[in-house]
Amino acid sequence: MNGKKAIIALLVENNANVLTRVAMLFGKRGYNIDSLTVSETNDPMISRITVTTQGDDRVIEQIILQTRKMVEVKAVQLEDENEAILRELLLVKVGADESQRAAIRDICEIYKASIVDFSPSSIVCELTGKPSKINGFLDVIGKYEILELCRTGVTAIDRGSKIMVCENKESHRS
């Protein structure tokens, strides 16, 4: 699916199979999930799901409407990349012999990545930041042999005093 990137935050009941039902809603309607993060909130009964997807305005509106209809979903919000704080975690294992280590350390220093493991044949780097920072780091470090890579996916929260709260579901059931 092509279109603009959208980051959708959901507050859901912290019950078994809620994530499966949300993912199935996307799959049944042919919407792709580019990244997905889930965690318990400050209320142990509520989890926050952050989904990154793509689509035109109509598709994004449909995704929001359909997820909002789910009984377990307590709130849905489209995150504005300019107004929210976005973060992602990257772990990347780079093949490195002795002659490459200094250059890789320099790249890590420039991007403020941490070296979390050092072996005779590889270095594992950890980086947290905006997706664009992660992508930039990968572009540069990609000149070396990437042995393994994993990214968490985007998680987002609004800046300032704006707080995402559970909606009154009765208003959506007409």
Question: pLDDT of the chain along its 174 residues, tens only?
Answer: 568 899 999 999 999 999 999 999 998 888 899 999 999 999 999 999 999 999 999 999 999 999 999 999 999 999 998 889 999 999 999 999 999 999 999 999 999 999 999 999 999 999 999 999 999 999 999 999 999 999 999 999 999 888 888 876 554 443
The pTM of this model reads 0.84
Judged by phi (left if over 0) then psi (alpha if -120 to 50, else beta), residue 55 lies in: left
For the chain, list the domains and their CATH numbers.
4-83+160-172 (3.30.70.260), 85-155 (3.30.70.1150)
Nearest to 51 by CA among 79, 75, 74: 79
